[in-house]
Amino acid sequence: MTGPAPLARRLGTTDAVVIGLGSMLGAGVFSVFAPAAQAAGAGLLLGLLLAGAVAYANATASAQLAAQYPTSGGTYVYGRERLGPWWGFVAGWGFVVGKTASCAAMALTFAAYVAPSGWERPAAVAAVVVLTAVSCRGITRTARLTRVVVVVVLVALVVVVVSALVGGAPRWSRLDLPLGLADGWYGVLQSAGLLFFAFAGYARIATLGEEVRDPRRTIPRAVHIALAVTVLVYGTVAVTLLSVLGPDRLAASATPLATAVQAGGWTWAVPVVTVGAAAAALGALLSLLAGVGRTSLAMARHDDLPRWLDAVDPRHQVPLRAEVTLAVVVCVLVLIVDLRGVIGFSSFGVLVYYLVANLAAFTQGPQDRRTPRGLQVAGALGCVLLVVTLPLSSVVAGTAVLAAGVVSRLWRTRARARPQP
């Protein structure tokens, strides 16, 4: 009896870095700074540093584990191997639920920028259908398209920074830390939890572990490069927005990057930002579809999701059923979900995912360790701290959905254990 068909190893370091950047430099950079400023004012800079530090600890844990277990599924697999099936399920369920919601958010963000009024939801559904078709054609096509998207996004961000700083009369006093602490450390921590949403894309590199060449070398390198570039880009954009708009104006803007460009007097560049935002949303959506589909594949292989989802298309060597099923669920969400609050809900699921990653990496032996165990302790504590300081509605909704998944798995496990008549 043969096992599930393997996926093809076609991705090199550059491809893996690009997929990570396509996820982290997604629509979050065009939307996440406003709610972060609402939570912490100029203190979002401290929140950004904290989110980046937690992300670094999580990234080292993910890279270390992915090098030892180079297969699809990311922390779902690592949790099962290092801690047991239930830990793996909690990580996988948190990832699938949180990132499925993120898929819907990215599709709606794309539609908000490009669709006529009243046509946003149909346009979002169309984006999901088209990108699912691209993803189902093979992972190398996903990497190529993501590379184009990353270039477009970086060009748009350069335009934002240059136009705002040149013509927007930046005031560096707006970056003073006393102003940032006006809302207290709780606000800073909440902004860190919201900003973590923007850093979570490096998980996509680990979930593609079965398709990366020389994974023990490629995955750690790609994770660190992608995260370092993202921290640099987000820090530059955050400083620019705060210095030009100030905390209050930034918090009040639904499209802060476009507002910064207008403040600089380069109104002709607003369409460039619009194109960049749309491209970012599409790039993030494409990477999310690939990552969630492969985690679903791994969970189906262990009966934590319906077994028929573990099929791999023999021609393109992708988890076809898992990706198509995911697309259907995302399309339903797009038609009924409200975009507000989805960032916090997604952060809840992903932080749970990385909590398990840090706990799993803590158990690795010396031959597989690349960093001190203390870094995994700090990462786990950071995940817990950011989870409990997220908006209350996100914590309640996330806890309820996580509990529903646990109860469902418990019921299925007991049903399988009952003797058949």
Q: Which residues contact 256 (CB under 8 A, 6 or more apart)?
A: 30, 31, 33, 34, 241, 245, 250
Q: Whose CA is closest to 325, among 297, 349, 345?
A: 297
Q: For 19-35, how does the pLDDT look when each residue is reduced to its tens digit (9 = 90+)?
A: 777 767 766 788 788 88
Within a domain: residue 7?
no
Q: Whose CA is closest to 153, among 328, 9, 22?
A: 22
Within a domain: residue 410?
no
Task: List phi, psi (to 5°) of 405.
Answer: -65, -40
Question: In whole numbers, what is the pLDDT of the chain averaged over residues?
Answer: 81
Within a domain: residue 287?
yes
Q: Which of 49-53, 192-196, 384-388, 413-417 has the lowest mean pLDDT?
A: 413-417
Within a domain: residue 60?
yes
* Selected residue with higher pLDDT from 389 and 179: 389
Within a domain: residue 420?
no
Within a domain: residue 411?
no
Give the number of domains in the chain.
1
User: What CATH number should be reported for the domain holding residue 365?
Assistant: 1.20.1740.10
Within a domain: residue 117?
yes
* Selected residue with higher pLDDT from 28 and 182: 28
Q: Are 251 and 39 in contact (CB under 8 A)?
A: no
Q: How much is the pTM?
A: 0.79
When pLDDT is averaged across residues 103-128 and rounded to a whole number, the result is 86
When pLDDT is averaged across residues 41-67 and rounded to a whole number, the result is 87
> What is the spatial distance between Cα 384 and Cα 393, in angstroms, rounded to a whole number?
17
Within a domain: residue 257?
yes
Range(s) of the domain holding residue 291: 13-405
